[in-house]
Homo-oligomer: A and B are copies of this chain.
Amino acid sequence: MSTTKPSIGFCGLGAMGFGMATHFVERGYIVKGFDISQASLDRFEQAGGVPVATLQESAEGNDFYICMVATAQQAQSAIFDDAKPIIKGLPNGATLLLCSTVPATYAQSVAQQLQQLGRSDISLIDCPVSGGAARAVNGTLTIMAGASPEAIAKGQWLLKEMSGENKLFIVDGGIGQGSNMKMVHQVLAAIHILAASEGMGLAVKLGLDPRIVVERVNGSAAWSWMWENRTTRMLNEDYYPGVSALTIILKDVCIVTSQARATTFPVPLSSLAEQVYFSALNQGYGPHDDAGVLRIYHNTSLSQTPQSWLSEDEVNKRTNLVITLLTNIHLLAAAEALSFARHLGIPLDQLYGLAVDAAGGSHSLRDVGKLMIRGLSGNEKNWMGVCTHNLDTVVTDLAEVVGAAQDLKMPLFLGNAVLGAFLGVRMRFGGDIGEAAVLKAYVQ
């Protein structure tokens, strides 16, 4: 371990933050960490970190500071409003990384507040992260960073320490665009997390063996990072404390819908996911892992749900219903994320490159996203005619899934919303267009 490495200030030792902070400890940095939970501080000390008693102390003498609290409200308190805040401790010319997921407008207000307080010496980087606790520990996170070129130059080495190879995305547009990039990525994440529960709920109600369905979906066009990741916890019914609390993705999707309302853009699938998450919150699932939203669809323990005896043909047929459902939810999620990104001036190729290999990844995005980006560019006339599956086929297949769920008397929130959106596009343009044209649900 080299002792010439600079010491780093850190606040927010939650699931993600603890992983990030201990990653630096393991890489030989002195990390001064603060958290409001004494248990987290103790755990941090055991992991080799230096726990401190105030935010101000965690900043003192550190030219680099990472803020990884959960919300904009917490960040505001930690940086400015606390009795002994970060701002009082940060040395002249320090670099402050705001890694929390916050609205872009909040990140911009941090820059303004620094200026108003006469602390323009501080280089602020708006750099939310993605990838989950395991990648935080390994230093292979995806990071979306917006800032002035000067700030990026100062902080880039730190961002690189935390991020995987080709996982650091410097987003054009300065402070705010890192958060906006994360936000549009979370459009995918929020919809895919609910989709995983909806797909698994359907599978179980169809009498399928959940372990086999997980494998089959993972090897199909319906794959998503969230499906692969969340279903492992569903299979083990490992919801509490879990890895990522429902309240976290709910907070993120609330940022999506608020910013969409503020800019009069429709995000119907994100909105719907938010409503289902609020329902789950009201049922007491807030502190549980978001994979536990499965219980909205199927509230009997998986291990106690009898599986039907089914012929191999019938297993294939029913598994295909689940695959059709997920593929098409992911397809419309891609359209929602990409079109919202364009609306916000986010570089689409960068979003694609980032999301396809991150927590928002899906084969639908991978396979159809580039064509959607060409459609959104406005430079290509015939993109709607490009066709792997035509819309009429997609509608027929998805209608069968929706009908099957109806027969099972189970809610299929996303499946029904997606079918409705597809039918709306079909009404306007006919059914003889490619599946990428579902983008038209979001653009003129």
Q: Which residues of B contact A399 (CB under 8 A)?
A: 261, 264
- A417 to B420: give the CA distance in the assembly, Å: 11
- Inside 8 A of A402's CB, which chain B residues have their CB? 257, 261
A46 at the interface (CB under 8 A from B): no
Q: Which of A24-32, A214-222, A423-431 contacts B (4 or more CB under 8 A)?
A: A423-431
Q: Per-residue CB proximity of A404-439 to B under 8 Å, as 1/0?
A: 001001111100110111011011100100000000
Nearest CB in chain B: distance from A163 CB, A: 32
B416 touches A275 (CB 8 A): yes
When the two chains form their complex, are residues B279 and A279 in contact, meaning their CB atoms are under 8 A apart? yes
User: A444 contacts B423, CB within 8 Å?
Assistant: no
Bits for A378-420, please: 1 = Cβ < 8 Å to B, else 0.
0000000000000000010001001100100111110011011
Stretch at the interface among A89-97, A225-233, A265-273: A265-273
Tell me the A276-292 residues at the B interface (CB within 8 Å). Answer: 276, 278-279, 281-282
Shortest CB-to-CB span from A198 to chain B, Å, is 10
Q: Which residues of the other chain, B, contact A419 by a CB distance below 8 angstroms?
A: 261, 266, 271
Q: Which of B267, B282, B420 contacts A268 (CB 8 A)?
A: B420
Q: Which secondary structure characterizes the binding site on chain A?
A: helix
Contacts A296-B279, A403-B261 given; does A444 touch B427 at CB 8 Å: yes
What's the nearest-Cβ distance from chain B to residue A94, in Å?
Answer: 35
Query: Which residues does chain B contribute within 8 Å of A395, judged by CB atoms?
Result: 264
For A264, list chain B residues within 8 Å (CB).
395, 399, 423, 426, 431
A409 to B247: give the CA distance in the assembly, Å.
11
* Residue among A267, A281, A409 having the largest count of chain B Cβ atoms under 10 Å: A409
Q: Is A258 an interface residue (CB 8 A)?
A: yes
Contacts of A274 in B (CB 8 A): 406, 411, 416
Is A443 interfacial (CB 8 A cutoff)? yes
A278 and B420 within 8 A (CB) = no
Beta-carbon contact of B406 and A272 below 8 Å: no
User: Given the known A-B contacts A272-B417, A279-B411, A299-B282, are A424 and B406 also in contact in the complex, defined by CB atoms under 8 Å?
Assistant: no
- List of B residues within 8 angstroms of A421 by Cβ: 266, 268
- Chain B residue nearest to A440 (CB atoms) is B428
State whether the Cβ of A442 lies closer than 8 Å to any Cβ in chain B: yes
Residue of B nearest to A267 (CB): B420
Which residue of chain B lies nearest to A275 when distances are taken between CB atoms in the complex?
A: B411
How distant is the Cα of A421 from the Cα of B442 in the complex, in angstroms?
Answer: 10
User: Are B443 and A275 in touch, CB under 8 angstroms?
Assistant: no
What is the bound-complex CA distance between A272 and B419, given in angstroms? 11
Contacts known (A395-B264, A416-B272, A416-B275); A281 close to B409, Cβ less than 8 A: yes
Q: List 5 A-B contacts (CB under 8 A).
A: A264-B431, A266-B421, A272-B413, A282-B299, A424-B442
